[in-house]
Chain A
Amino acid sequence: MSGRRVAAITRRLLQQFHRDRRTLALLFGAPLIILGLLGYLLRGGGDVPVMGVVNLDAGPLGAAIASQLERTKTVSASTMSEAAAESKLRSGELAGYVLLQSDFSARGQQSRVISPQIHLEGSQPGLSQTIVQAVNESFAALVGQAGGVRFAPQVMFVYGGPSFDTLDYFGAAFIGLVVFFLVFVITIVAFLRERGQGTLERLMASPLRRGEIVLGYMLGFTVLALVQAVEVLAFCLLVLHVHNAGNVGLIFVLEGLMAIAAVNLGIFLSMFARTEFQAVQFIPLVILPQVLLSGIIFPISTEPGPLTVLSRALPLTYAVEGMRNIMIKGADLSWSSLQLDFGVVLGFCVLVIIAGILTLRRRIA
């Protein structure tokens, strides 16, 4: 083995990287951005579920549990009327509320069983669990005072149910994400290959209009993406049994729109990469922050304020929300929230189609 020959290879590699500033920036910049984002998400936010306390109890027990809940740091609890709590639960402002009935103390003393009603929004199993746990803990803190009382809450769900688990929650978002991600990667690489092998130059020197090239690409990839969407959907619903309370056709349409958006985003972003190697670098720069910020893993409601604004500006946020609205909440197009989700995803599709067409000409120079 020759040390000089090995050194020649090492030196040559470092020289190449020295000239490829973008790769260097990615290598040293992307980890800081991604980890910084993750740190801010996990530590910067008030990531505790917001819950209501409806205390109708005339006795001392209700007031004690209510004040205990308001003091706890694992949830952000505040007292409110039953009507306000129910309305906020439906609108998503509350992850849940606990109802302490008028005979709560009396029944507790008579039967030695405390059974408050816990109403949960239910679409986010993590938040639901935290609320049930917080109510449990507030009871446990009082056990000393109440002596020998059993705790048996009645838990009610608006969406999902007791069997609704983490896979149900993530599954709805991942159905869309998997299609979006894979189609994006395939399109951007295929389009760059078109440029690299010189065929794009030939296409641009032919009577083809720019719109025809983009549309042809879009249709070709969309056909593949839709077949993939059917496969992903069937696997999630039939094999993984991911919870679905909505219309399968509607899920498919939203998946299809995401595929179209991914194809055109790929075509558009291919303009900013010279090689397939550079194209792959878009994954940590474009896809990963979206995955962190679009509510797929961390609920947007628990994000720090400035990141919420950013999340609301990302199209993937609306796609994920739409998927969950359909699959978890059983939303249809009469829901204004789903109309917004579809509207934003559709608008994004149109935007990237236009951007792809307008920038196509510049990329063969």
Chain B
Amino acid sequence: MAGETYAVEVDRVVKRFGSLRALDGATLRIRRGEVYGLLGPNGAGKTTLIRALVGLVVPDGGTVTVLGRPARNLDVLARVGYMTQQAALYPDLSAEENVAFFAAIHGAHHGVREALEFVELWDRRGSVVSSLSGGMRTRCSLACVLAHKPDLLLLDEPTVGVDPLLRVQLWNRFQRMAADGTSILVSSHVMDEAERCDRLGLIRFGRLLAEGTVPELKGKAGVDRLEDAFLKLSGTGAE
């Protein structure tokens, strides 16, 4: 641990929305260069946690540190790529114009082509986003967070609506990016995707129930399947 720096450190974070505790003492650490999967059912607190990392949600308690600095830090945000759950794009701009815009606000002047090639949209770069299919929009949205070559990628359910072949390709690329030093946080509720992560955090009711590699979590729960491990560790195994 000595000298180890984490890309993300979340310590006992609490966030309330009225009477709902969306985050209830969540604690996790993401190492530099790892793919960390945040696994949990709908409403577990995944999106709130990710939004807290980029300062869109201000916690009521606890601390959030991103790339060594307390959130929300503008210098840090220039090194973060945040892909929202919804493919948030300008529908009347082309794919290339969208990616160029998001690159520009992150201070990058190059990387647009590379990002569009990465998501296999270079050939459709001139198409306005409103004319693209749902899957293509998701890919374009992903390209928007890649062009500025972030050190930390926050992907909120990035593969929803993406066909299986491209999903496999994207995961291979995420792993290559991680190998090159990019830290990646992926939220998901799809178990086969979770198996591709270096480490997983199981979240429910705003709390991190368990953390570890896939074999570690299976071992901890004493089961063979990740899905069963999740159900057992979250206390819903009997259902």
Please report A residues at the B interface, Cβ cutoff 8 Å: 197-199, 201-209, 364-365
Chain B interface, >50% SS class: loop
| Closest residue of A by beta carbon distance from B129 | A197
Instruction: Say if the beta carbon of B78 comes within 8 Å of chain A.
Output: yes
Contact B107 A204 (CB under 8 A): no
Chain A residues within 8 Å of B51, by CB: 205
With A207-B77, A207-B106 known as contacts, the answer to whether A202 contacts B82 (CB < 8 A) is yes
With A206-B105, A206-B106, A207-B106 known as contacts, the answer to whether A198 contacts B86 (CB < 8 A) is yes
Jot down 14 A-B pairs with beta carbons below 8 A, ordered by A. Answer: A197-B86, A197-B89, A198-B86, A199-B88, A199-B90, A201-B88, A202-B102, A204-B54, A204-B56, A206-B105, A207-B74, A207-B77, A207-B78, A207-B107
Task: Tally chain B residues at the interface, Cβ within 8 Å.
Answer: 23
With A202-B102, A204-B56, A364-B56 known as contacts, the answer to whether A209 contacts B74 (CB < 8 A) is yes
| Closest residue of B by beta carbon distance from A203 | B105
Contact B77 A205 (CB under 8 A): yes
Contact B106 A201 (CB under 8 A): no
| Closest residue of A by beta carbon distance from B74 | A207
- Docked pose: A206 CA to B102 CA in angstroms: 9
Contact A197 B77 (CB under 8 A): no
Instruction: Say if the beta carbon of B135 comes within 8 Å of chain A.
Output: no
List residues 66-107 of chain B with CB under 8 A from any CB of chain A. 74-75, 77-78, 80, 82, 84, 86-91, 102, 105-107
Which of B75, B88, B90, B107 has most chain A Cβ within 10 Å? B88
Chain B residues within 8 Å of A197, by CB: 86, 88-91
Sorted nearest first, the 3 A-B pairs with minimum C-beta distance are: A198-B88, A205-B54, A207-B78
Instruction: Say if the beta carbon of B25 comes within 8 Å of chain A.
Output: no
Q: How many A-B residue pairs have CB under 8 A?
A: 49
Chain A interface, >50% SS class: loop
Instruction: Say if the beta carbon of B55 comes within 8 Å of chain A.
Output: yes
Give the Cβ gap from B144 to chain A, nearest Cβ, in Å.
8
Chain B residues within 8 Å of A209, by CB: 74
Chain A residues within 8 Å of B87, by CB: 198
- Docked pose: A207 CA to B91 CA in angstroms: 22
Contact A202 B88 (CB under 8 A): yes
Chain A residues within 8 Å of B89, by CB: 197, 199
- Docked pose: A199 CA to B99 CA in angstroms: 12
- Docked pose: A203 CA to B55 CA in angstroms: 12
- Docked pose: A365 CA to B57 CA in angstroms: 7
**Told that A198-B87, A199-B90, A205-B55 touch, could you supply 14 new A-B pairs with CB distance under 8 A?**
A197-B89, A197-B90, A198-B86, A198-B88, A199-B88, A201-B56, A201-B88, A202-B84, A202-B88, A202-B144, A204-B55, A204-B56, A207-B74, A364-B56
Give the Cβ gap from A362 to chain B, nearest Cβ, in Å.
11
Contact A207 B88 (CB under 8 A): no
Chain B residues within 8 Å of A364, by CB: 56
- Docked pose: A245 CA to B89 CA in angstroms: 49
- Docked pose: A206 CA to B144 CA in angstroms: 12
- Docked pose: A273 CA to B105 CA in angstroms: 26
| Closest residue of A by beta carbon distance from B55 | A205
Contact B77 A206 (CB under 8 A): yes
Chain B residues within 8 Å of A202, by CB: 82, 84, 88, 102, 144
- Docked pose: A312 CA to B38 CA in angstroms: 57
Give the Cβ gap from A273 to chain B, nearest Cβ, in Å.
19
Contact A198 B78 (CB under 8 A): no
Chain A residues within 8 Å of B55, by CB: 204-205
- Docked pose: A199 CA to B86 CA in angstroms: 9
- Docked pose: A199 CA to B89 CA in angstroms: 6
Chain A residues within 8 Å of B86, by CB: 197-198
B201-222 vs A: 1/0 string, CB under 8 Å? Answer: 0000000000000000000000
Chain A residues within 8 Å of B54, by CB: 204-205
| Closest residue of A by beta carbon distance from B50 | A205
| Closest residue of B by beta carbon distance from A202 | B88
| Closest residue of B by beta carbon distance from A201 | B84
Give the Cβ gap from A356 to chain B, nearest Cβ, in Å.
18
| Closest residue of A by beta carbon distance from B85 | A198
Contact B105 A205 (CB under 8 A): no
Chain B residues within 8 Å of A201, by CB: 56, 84, 88
Give the Cβ gap from A96 to chain B, nearest Cβ, in Å.
55
| Closest residue of B by beta carbon distance from A199 | B88
Give the Cβ gap from B20 to chain A, nearest Cβ, in Å.
14
Chain A residues within 8 Å of B84, by CB: 198, 201-202
- Docked pose: A201 CA to B82 CA in angstroms: 10
Chain B residues within 8 Å of A198, by CB: 84, 86-88
